[in-house]
Structure 1
Amino acid sequence: MIEAQGLVKVYGGKPAVQDISFTVQPGKVTGFLGPNGAGKSTTMRMIMGLDAPTAGRVTVNGLPYARHKAPLRQVGALLDAKAVHTSRSAYHHLRAMAATHGIGRKRVHDVIELTGLGAVANKRVGGFSLGMGQRLGIAAALLGDPQTVILDEPVNGLDPEGVLWVRTLARSLAAEGRTVFLSSHLMSEMSQTADHLIVIGRGRIIADASVQEILDGRGRARTRVRTDSAEGANLLTGALAGPGVTIEAREAGLLEVSGIEPRAIAQAALEHRVLVCELTPLQASLEEAYLDLTRDEVEYHSGDLSGIHDDIAAGTAAAGK
């Protein structure tokens, strides 16, 4: 279990983390989300004792990280996959770590096989691809068979098979009763991996709830409506128009409607004699819910690309003359 109470971290007079408290429970995968500069990395570094809090405290399995006599056996972490001695082989990197905790060679071989490093275990780490470096970092995090696992962007650089492997690994660790805390910028992956989410913005906790609760509370429920013709779609659009109702035409005869229940859509179609071929409630995506939550917390906003697209189109037209 990870417990943070009133955590504050200030760098040069600027607060990076502002009085946050949360608990990461064992037996579930907890995702840690937030825009760039939100305080995620700072929080993870404080959990691992790499940065001292300005105020507050954080414990892992009941103690601050630095007070554990054998920390690798309590908590394993991947925070920076590049933090390795590049001239060593993967095997010797793990053996050196294992030696600090009296961990035997068998465990080193076990995590090498578990993470798919068997074929490259004796190669220099400096020649590893980004994905293989991530696998080595995960192997190091699992070396002490810890009760708590912290992974920062674990799927970075991995191919689809590797992404699926990390997802399965995280869920299997949680199923064993371990505490699993991971961050990722891939909302689609987080929606398939995490049970619970902690969302941070500008150094403050803005959500701490299950994935479903966040989807229900912030996601925009929609319904896909397919009619038999464009004329039917136009007629139904007029029938459904009203306060709080949003209707988007996706293609001829296909609408996406929000702000009204599917039953009411069906009733309106029946009353106006519009043939409906499909009426499908759509699950709001985690990405939509996340963007809604963090809309006011993003430090840097991208500009509108429409002007760029217009300029490109104009330039292409001019070149063709």
Structure 2
Amino acid sequence: MIEAQGLVKVYGNKPAVQGVSFTVQPGRVTGFLGPNGAGKSTTMRMIMGLDRPTSGDVLVNGKHYAKHRAPLREVGALLDAKAVHTSRTAYNHLRAMAATHSIPTKRVHDVIELTGLGAVAKKRVGGFSLGMGQRLGIAAALLGDPQTIILDEPVNGLDPEGVLWVRNLVKALAAEGRTVFLSSHLMSEMSLTADHLIVIGRGRIIADAPIQDILNNRAQRVRVRTDRPDVLTRALAGEGVSVEAREPELLEVSGVAARAIAETALAQQVLVYELTPLQASLEEAYMDLTKDEVEYHSGPVADVHDHAGTAESGRHAAVAAGAGQEGN
């Protein structure tokens, strides 16, 4: 279990984490989401004792990480897959870690097999691909057979088979009653993996709930097909109701339940030949939650084309000018 109470971290005059409190329960996969700069990495580093909180406290399995006599047997973490001696082989890297915690060599072989590193275990880590480096980082996190596992972007660089393997792995670890804390920017993968979500924005918790509750809190949407969309649109108009025309006879309605739409259509004698409630995606729910918490905003795609067009026009003008000079 991970228990954070009032965590605050300030770098100079810049607050990175502001009064964060949460509990990561065993027996389920807890996802940790947030925009870049939201405080995710800082929070995870404080959990692992790599950064000291300015104030507040965080315990792992009832103790500060540094207070555990054999930390690898309590907590396994992947925070930076590149934090290895590149001149060492994968086997020697894991063996050195195991030796510092009195972990038997057999366990080294077990995690190498589990993570699919058998064919490259005797190769130098410096030559590993990003995906193989991730597998080595996961092997190191599992080396002590810990009760609590913390993984930051574990599927980064993995191929589809590797992504599926990580998904099944973390679910299996949670099913064994372990605490699994997982950070990722891949919304589609998080929606398939996590049972519970903690969302952070600008250093504060903005959501802490089962994933289904977060999805259900989105405004209800219903896909409606009718031969008289204009009549139904006018009849449904009201405060908190949004009706968007997707196709000539297809509407997407928000803020009204499917039954109420059917009753309205019946009262207006409008034929409805499809009425489908739509489940919000995790990406939609996440974007809605964090829309006011994003520190770095990208420009609209149209601007790219505008700037490209301007640059292209400039190049043509320069070429034309050059041609004119050459003719003089």
| C-alpha displacement of 1:96 | 1.0
- Which deviates more, 300-309 or 16-25? 300-309
Match of 2:223 in 1: 224
Aligned-residue offset at 1:307: 4.3
**Pairing 1:106-255 to 2, within 5 Å after superposition:** 106-217=106-217, 219-227=218-226, 229=227, 232-255=228-251
Deviation per CA, 1:163-209, whole angstroms, max 9, x where unpaired? 11111111111110000001111111111111111111111112211
Distance 1:6 1:144 in 2: 29
The range that moved more, 56-65 or 307-316, is 307-316
- The residue type equivalent to 2:279 in the other structure is Q
**d(CA) in 2 for partners of 1:259 and 1:182?**
33
Distance 1:155 1:88 in 2: 23
- Distance across 2 between alignment mates of 1:310 and 1:237: 36
- Partner Cα distance (1:226, 1:129) in 2: 49
Q: Distance in 2 between matches of 1:214 and 1:148?
A: 25
Give the superposed CA RMSD: 2.1
The 1:10–1:104 alpha-carbon spacing in structure 2 relative to 1, beyond 3 Å, is same
TM-score, length-scaled by structure 2: 0.90
Once the two structures are aligned, what percentage of the paired residues are identical?
Answer: 78
Q: Alpha-carbon deviation of 1:10?
A: 1.3
Which residue of structure 2 lines up, in the alignment, with residue 306 of structure 1? 302
1:230-283 residue CA offsets vs partner (Å, 9 max, x unmatched): xx3333323323322212222232221111111122223334444333211011
* Partner Cα distance (1:240, 1:178) in 2: 49
Query: In structure 2, what residue type is equivalent to 1:223?
Result: V
Unaligned runs of 5+ in 1: none
1:316–1:222 CA distance, 2 compared to 1 (3 A): farther
Report the TM-score when normalising by structure 1.
Answer: 0.92
In structure 1, C-alpha distance between the alignment counterparts of 2:75 and 2:156, rounded to whole Å: 21
Provide the residue aligned with 2:284 in structure 1.
288
Cα offset, 1:44, TM superposition: 0.6
CA–CA distance in structure 1, aligned partners of residues 154 and 110 of structure 2: 19
| Residue identity opposite 1:92 in structure 2 | N
**Counterpart residue number, 1:10:** 10
| Worse overlay, 177-186 or 192-201 | 192-201
SS in 2 for 1:164: helix
The structure number with the bigger radius of gyration is: 2
Are the structure 2 counterparts of residues 285 and 101 from structure 1 closer, same or farther at C-alpha, using a change threshold of 3 Å? same
How many equivalent pairs are there? Answer: 314
After superposition, the Cα gap between the structure-2 partners of 1:233 and 1:312, relative to the gap in structure 1 and judged at 3 Å, is: farther
> In the alignment, which residue of structure 1 is the partner of 2:39?
39
10-19 vs 91-100, which deviates more? 10-19
Secondary structure of the corresponding residue to residue 173 of structure 1: helix
Per mean C-alpha deviation after superposition, the further-off stretch among 308-317 and 200-209 is 308-317
Distance 1:67 1:214 in 2: 35
Give ranges in structure 2 of 5+ residues lacking alignment. 317-328
CA distance in structure 1 between the partners assigned to 2:295 and 2:304 by the alignment: 22
Amino acid at match of 2:262: A
Once the two structures are superposed, what CA deviation does each residue of 1:287-310 show, in whole Å capped at 9, x if it has no partner?
222122212211112223334446
